[in-house]
Amino acid sequence: MTATYDFGGRRAIITGGAGGLGRGMAKALMDAGAEVELWDMSASALAQARSELGPTVSVREVDITNVAAVEHAADTVFAGGRVDILVNNAGVLGEVKPVWETSPENFQRVLQVNLFGAYLVTRAVVGRMRAQAARHTTKNPHPLRGHVVNIASIQGKEGMAMAAAYSASKAGLIALTKSVAKETARDGIIVTAITPAAAETAMAKEISAERRADILGRIPMGRFVEIEEVARMVLWLSSDECSFSTGGIFDLSGGRATY
């Protein structure tokens, strides 16, 4: 039996929303009745996402590493009503090189997008989320103001050779998740993260065949995670069913790391 969710009347923001994973999560939330706004830097990718998802999806060109841009976007979205779900999904891979060959500028860029950008968006959205009324439902006697789901990576748990910047940024995102969850535990805001193995997205196409084989060989299930599998996990973590797991880091690695 397939789990079903009712997100009618709820609004979600997905960063990096124009990418394959962002679009997959958006479709799942929209199919469950949510209003979704995609944040992304690429106007052309946002236009493509909108043509794929339909005119009901909202899109916004936002540089999440820019404080003023994030604050303005958050002000505009909250002016239109409450936000119930934030998915911090934006990310870049960076160089696939040993650390002594990497560019400091590239390392800094990966941290800026994957960690600092997630911090800026969380700071802006959660700060405003705390001020909105808690939702009371018959299913959940404990009022909730919202859910934040951070898309980390299995590399944030394990590290990986030739991916120091990416691994460090995702490890930082895991720590950010745990810290913010403790700060909002009594506000009715649930903050979690998932740690997927590689998925068939544009990011996966950036790596060489040799690198791909190396990553695949580390996954006991012998395949990459499907976008729909990530989306299903996000649905549960964004729902009222997830009401006592704040700070949780949920494995989605095909057995690569199960802690």
Positions annotated as catalytic residues are 166
Secondary structure E strands in 95-245 = 146-151, 189-196
How is residue 189 written in tokens?
């805001």
CB 62 within 8 A of CB 90: no
Measured CA distances, 28 to 4, 24, 68, 177, 199 (Å):
10, 6, 30, 23, 16
Please tell me the distance from the alpha carbon of residue 241 to that of residue 167, in angstroms, as a whole number: 30
Report the b/e string of 203-215 with b at 16+ CB within 10 A: beeebeeebeeeb
Closest CA to 230 of 23, 37, 30: 23
Please tell me the distance from the alpha carbon of residue 115 to that of residue 139, in angstroms, as a whole number: 34
